[in-house]
Amino acid sequence: MIIQNKLASWNLQKAIYNRLSTDAALNEVIKGVFDNPNKDTPFPYVSIGEDTSTPFETKVTFGENITTVIHAWSRAEDGRREAKEILSLVMQALTKESLKVEGFKPLQLSFLQSQVITDIDGITQHGILRIRIYINN
């Protein structure tokens, strides 16, 4: 019997987008959640960034270890504080209950790292949150 394995990254991104774009506390603070923001995107906002995937297999299952980056962008006068608060709200939204990922079973979501840096333009504060999700087909 041949088992067809599929990759979860797109379905996971949709689940993260749905969770963040419907979270009331987060959306009181930001102007939106974006996949591919442009130069006219209003601040503050969140964007779903890069992900990496490695196999997470057992003898009978195929899954993935996916690391995803979520970005917070602020130009407020106290933008570093605002970016950190947005990252905290993102983490709260993602961990308040299990993510529902169409066609997949998330097993564990964990926090890896967060940081806030000043963007190359010198005025934008860029928050970076890295999370890991173990997910099975």
Domain CATH for 129: 3.30.2000.30
Phi, psi of 2 (to 5 degrees): -100, 130
| 114 within 8 A of 128, measured Cβ to Cβ | yes
Residue 38: inside a domain: yes
Distance CA 136, CA 45 (A): 30
Q: Please check whether residue 100 lies inside any domain of the structure.
A: yes
Q: Which domain range does residue 121 map to?
A: 9-136
* Amino acid identity at 72: A
- The pLDDT score that the predictor gives to residue 57 is 78
Task: Please check whether residue 4 lies inside any domain of the structure.
Answer: no
Residue 68, C-beta contacts closer than 8 angstroms, at least 6 positions apart? 12, 13, 16, 48, 49, 50, 51, 130, 131, 132, 133
Q: Are 79 and 64 in contact (CB under 8 A)?
A: no
Collect the ranges in the chain with pLDDT lower than 70: 1-4
User: pLDDT tens-digit profile of 26-35?
Assistant: 999 999 999 9
What pLDDT, on the 0 to 100 scale, is given for residue 4?
62
- Burial-class residue 42 by CB neighbours within 10 Å (0-12, 13-18, 19+): exposed
Task: Report the C-alpha gap between 134 and 106 in whole angstroms.
Answer: 6
Question: What's the confidence (pLDDT) of residue 1?
Answer: 45
Give the pLDDT confidence of 30-62 residue by residue, as tens digits: 999 999 999 999 999 999 999 999 998 777 778
Q: In this structure, is residue 3 part of a structural domain?
A: no
Count of domains for the chain: 1
Answer whether residue 2 is part of any domain.
Answer: no
Q: Nearest 5 degrees, angle CA 68-CA 73-CA 79?
A: 130
Q: Tell me whether residue 54 is in a domain.
A: yes
- Asked whether residue 125 is domain-assigned, the answer is yes
Taking the C-alpha atoms of residue 124 and residue 122, their distance in angstroms, rounded to an integer, is 6
Does a structural domain hold residue 51? Answer: yes
Amino acid, single-letter form, for residue 123: I
Q: Is the peptide bond before 44 cis (omega within 30 degrees of 0)?
A: yes
pTM of the model: 0.92
